[in-house]
Amino acid sequence: MERGGSGYWSVFVPGAGAGSRYRFSLDGRERADPASHFQPLGVDGPSEVVDHASFHWDEGGWKGLRQTEMVVYEVHAGTFTPSGDLASVISRLAPLRDLGVNSLELMPIAQFPGERNWGYDGVFPFAVQNTYGGPLALKMLVNECHRHGMGVVLDVVYNHFGPEGNYIGEFGPYFTDRYRTPWGDAVNFDGRGSDHVREFFIANALHWFERYRIDALRLDAVHAVIDMSANPFLRALSDRVAEYSSQKGRLFGLIAESDLNDTRAVSKGEHGWGLDAVWSDDFHHSVHALITGERGGYYADFGEVRHLAKAVNEGFTYTGQYSSYRGRSFGSPSARVPKDRFVVSVQNHDQVGNRMLGERLSRLASFEGLKLAAGLLLLSPFVPLIFMGEEYGEDAPFLYFIDHRGDELVRAVRNGRKKEFEAFEWETEPPDPASPGTFLASRVDWEKRGSGRHKTLLGLYGTLIRLRRELPSLAIGTGRVEATALDEEKVMLLSREAGGDAAFAIFNFSRGEARIMGRLPEGKWARAIDSSGKEWDGPGSLLPASVEANDQAFDMALPPLSFALYTKEGH
């Protein structure tokens, strides 16, 4: 190979082309290409040249994401279908579209070690996991999503590399010991040579957009992208992606997972990172703590209705207040951040999977609780994210699983896993992450959705998504959002108004009946949904089918763990 500018090496190999396999020789060590597009034999095998030009895109008029309309569905390709690959996801797009989902979010599919992994141990950020079907399968899936009117969000990991098959540090200054992350040395975003490290990841983002027509990236754990520079990597990335979007005349988005509660992530101003959206864990935690009653670990910071009302009103609950879990003040004021900049969930791979036993909400809450969570998720003014199976109350766990080679590494992962649960109080050992059984137990069973309460819950999700789409007051936008906590009654009132339309919802978190009194907003209101109604397999509604503001002050009894939505009549 010949050394070029800035330490890049290159060689022209006559006759090489699609399907050619290659490795680099680094001072005698054979290494796959850190920017490999395909590792047909996994992380230890050679890289393979991929022909990106020949795929026939037929996206059926897909025009790109509309952020304010997004309904996201998070999928782990390995456990979503029995065959555990990307191609098999295609057959499920039609039902998802019918449910109202318009964005498929894939957990990381960049090449990771072995056959089973959440994806956060990836070591070839440009390659599509061989056991998922490789590059072609991903293109086919994206193409079909677009034909179904669905965008694709891809989870990418720019803050660390997996522990196995990670040789990129031999190629350049990709790491720094100036900062430490939970995964060891931080990626070098601000030290010597960091221009090229940044370019590696920016090229990665554009790779997914350009070659796979991915619509948005979900950036894993941006709090571990440590960068003190005057032009932070995340801003440089968002600038480049914005430029690309404007070239293409179509939105390519960046969504951050962040443990910072920092509005800087989504600020488009001078010192903002300029990302399009950020996950709000506070929304999840406040819902989870109220519905399950759990107070261990980070749930210690939640549990009152006011925590949830704050999250609903402002995106974050912690906007500078003291967090007892963190032992410090946390967050920045978020009330003025546009609502579509927040992605919220009541379940996601992390919140389910990072429990020792991987219990979904369906194992922790009653059926009434699941419906209440659905109401909160889908009547919230933010971008909702549904974790695969959540919509029909899947009850299989989503456990942590890996497939590493090397006993020592496997042992380290097992021990790390145990350590992670010290903050919570568990009586058993975590399931073995390395066991195939742990992986198999985590598969969703799509058949469940056709019957019983699974079907009822699915119907409720569908109805809520439809109402969100049809009623201007429930859309994400600039309308009024006002959540009020009645902490004594364990009730939250939510009033929404936009474009002349109005709606209000009542959420009861108490385990018993709640009684609330108050005055209705002006107009005549019709009950659109009551989760306690018989039609939703509930104990039966206690609420009037319609009420008027000129009635005397109302006095309503709410069934335990329920919600109701009233919409304005005559609109």
Nearer to its own copies, 198 or 490 (CB): 198
Q: DSSP label at 485?
A: E
Q: Please list, residue by residue across 290-312, b when 16 or more beta carbons sit within 10 angstroms of its beta carbon and e when fewer do.
A: bbbebeebbbbbbbbbbbbbbbb
Q: Which residue type does 551 have?
A: D
Q: Note whether 270 binds its own copies by CB under 8 A.
A: yes
Torsion sign, CA atoms 79, 256, 252, 99: positive
Residue 267 lies near its own copies (rule: CB under 8 A): yes
Min CB(179)–its own copies separation in Å = 6
The burial of 329, by beta-carbon neighbours within 10 Å (0-12 exposed, 13-18 middle, 19 or more buried), is given as: exposed
Q: For its own copies, which is the closer residue by CB, 176 or 531? A: 176
Is 546 one of the binding residues for its own copies (CB under 8 A)? Answer: no
Tell me whether residue 142 is exposed, middle or buried, using C-beta atoms within 10 angstroms of its C-beta: 0 to 12, 13 to 18, 19 or more. buried
Q: Is 268 in the site for its own copies (CB under 8 A)?
A: no
Residue 198 is classified by DSSP as: H
Task: Pick out residues in 191-210 that bind its own copies (CB under 8 A).
Answer: 191-195
Task: Tell me, yes or no, if 257 is annotated catalytic.
Answer: yes
Give the total of residues touching its own copies (CB under 8 A).
35
* Distance from C-alpha of 481 to C-alpha of 498, rounded to nearest angstrom: 9
Binding mask 15-44 for its own copies (x = CB under 8 A): ------------------------------
Closer CB to its own copies, 163 or 272, in the complex: 272
The binding track of 114-153 with respect to its own copies, each residue x by CB under 8 A or -, is ----------------------------------------
Distance CA 48, CA 40 (A): 7
Both structure tokens of 292: 């399950």
Q: Is residue 5 a contact residue for its own copies (CB under 8 A)? A: no
Toward its own copies, which CB reaches closer, 4 or 269?
269
Backbone dihedral region for residue 537 (phi beyond 0: left; psi -120 to 50: alpha; all else: beta): left
- Between 320 and 499, name the residue whose CB sits nearer to its own copies: 320
DSSP 8-state symbol, 356: T
| Site for its own copies contains 220 (CB under 8 A) | no
Query: What phi and psi values does residue 125 have, to the nearest 5 degrees?
Result: -65, -15
User: Smaller CB distance to its own copies: residue 311 or 543?
Assistant: 311
Q: Which of 63, 66, 180, 418 binds its own copies (CB under 8 A)?
A: 180
Show the CA angle centred on residue 90, arms to residues 87 and 92, nearest 5°.
Answer: 130
105, 121, 144, 220: the active-site residue: 220
To its own copies, the closest distance from the beta carbon of 264 in angstroms equals: 5
301 near its own copies, judged by CB under 8 A? no
- Minimal distance, residue 60 CB to its own copies, in Å: 41
Among 66, 271, 411, 418, binds its own copies (CB under 8 A): 271
CA distance 209 to 241: 9
* Among 85, 257, 403, 537, the one annotated catalytic: 257
Query: What is the pattern of x (binds its own copies, CB under 8 A) and - over residues 226-255?
Result: x-xxxx------------------------
**Is 85 designated active site?**
no
- Which bin fits 50, alpha (ψ -120 to 50), beta or left (φ > 0)? beta
Q: Which is nearer to its own copies, 245 or 332 (CB)?
A: 332
Residues ≥6 apart with Cβ < 8 Å to 458: 99, 391, 392, 449
Report the Cα 68 to chain-centroid distance in Å.
16
Among candidates 438, 463, 289, which has minimal Cα distance to 455?
A: 463
| Residue of 33, 14, 15 whose CA lies nearest to 23 | 33
CB 476 within 8 Å of CB 276? no
How far apart are CB 275 and its own copies at their closest, in Å? 13
Closer residue to its own copies, CB minimum distance, 26 or 228: 228
Which residues from 319-358 bind its own copies, rule CB under 8 A?
320, 322, 326-332
Q: Which one among 29, 63, 66, 178 touches its own copies, defined by CB under 8 A?
A: 178
Draw the binding track, 90-109, toward its own copies (x: CB under 8 A; -: no contact): --------------------
Residues classed as catalytic: 220, 257
Residues binding its own copies (CB under 8 A): 177-180, 190-195, 223, 226, 228-231, 260-264, 267, 269-272, 320, 322, 326-332
